[in-house]
Amino acid sequence: MRYSVGMGRGADGVPQLSLRERKRERTRRALIDAAAELFERKGYDETTVAQIAAAAEIGTRTFFGYFASKEDILFPDSDTRTRTTIEAIADRDPAEGPVEVLVRALETVAETDADMVGPMAAVRMRLFRTVPTVRGKALQVQMAAQQQIARELHAAFPGELDRVRAAALAGAFTGAVSGALTALMDEDDTADGIAPDAAQLRARVRQATELALRPWQHRSAGSATPAPSPPG
């Protein structure tokens, strides 16, 4: 969700949404919830934009003021997650290394992003396995995020990460989050069909991501020593 310029701030300094922005966010959330329910009940290919709009009690033209396509509503907050990560890199503490910054970004996303472990996330995981167009869109979204994060990491830590290492670390980060979520939200891994609590999912995603990035902490700490060249 994006905040408007000139928006007021609360006593804690957190931006407060205007009435117009709150109404817009409610409509956006209604569209996401309606799409998730329809995809689950009718199927992705069988659901139309007009049906999603009608379920959210808006017109079809209004739908396109929120989402560019039916595919895009499956990934409602992907851009926000990427921006949050980039902002964490830009606002890093001088004592933070690349891994610490990425883990902090993940914490922020987990606290503020309902989509990461919400109903749409579960629907998205199931459709990823069965609908080729959804699988292609998911890979496109992940690759775009990975490339943006890699560029920012390289710019922020030029002495530790060249372009190749920055790309590899960004790939390890996005891959770890995606892989952990896929495994955790797999229907086959839920006991008696009951999904785990959202807070538990977030905690386990963080633990899995920290584990996946642990080798990079040692690598960053010793970055002053060039890595050996592969045998020629």
Phi, psi for residue 136 in degrees, rounded to 5:
-65, -40
Dist CA 181 CA 162 (whole Å): 29
* Contact status, residue 165 vs residue 149, Cβ threshold 8 Å: no
The residue ranking higher by pLDDT, 174 or 189, is 174
State mean pLDDT over 123-136.
Answer: 91
- Residue 218: which pLDDT band, with cuts at 50, 70 and 90? low
pLDDT of amino acid 220 = 57
Residues 6 or more apart whose Cβ sits within 8 Å of residue 211: 176
- Residue 227: which pLDDT band, with cuts at 50, 70 and 90? very low
- Residue 219: which pLDDT band, with cuts at 50, 70 and 90? low
* Cα torsion angle, 129, 133, 135, 141, sign: negative
Mutual orientation of helices 163-184 and 119-130 as an angle, nearest 10°? 100
Residues 6 or more apart whose Cβ sits within 8 Å of residue 200: none
Dist CA 103 CA 86 (whole Å): 12
* Contact status, residue 162 vs residue 156, Cβ threshold 8 Å: no
Residues 6 or more apart whose Cβ sits within 8 Å of residue 185: 117, 121, 122, 125, 195, 201
pLDDT surpassing 90 at residue 143? yes
pLDDT of amino acid 202 = 83
- Residue 180: which pLDDT band, with cuts at 50, 70 and 90? confident
pLDDT surpassing 80 at residue 15? no
Model-level pTM greater than 0.85?
A: no
Q: Which residue segments constitute the domains of the chain, with CATH numbers given?
A: 19-69 (1.10.10.60), 75-221 (1.10.357.10)
Tens of pLDDT, residues 54-75 = 999 999 999 999 999 999 999 9
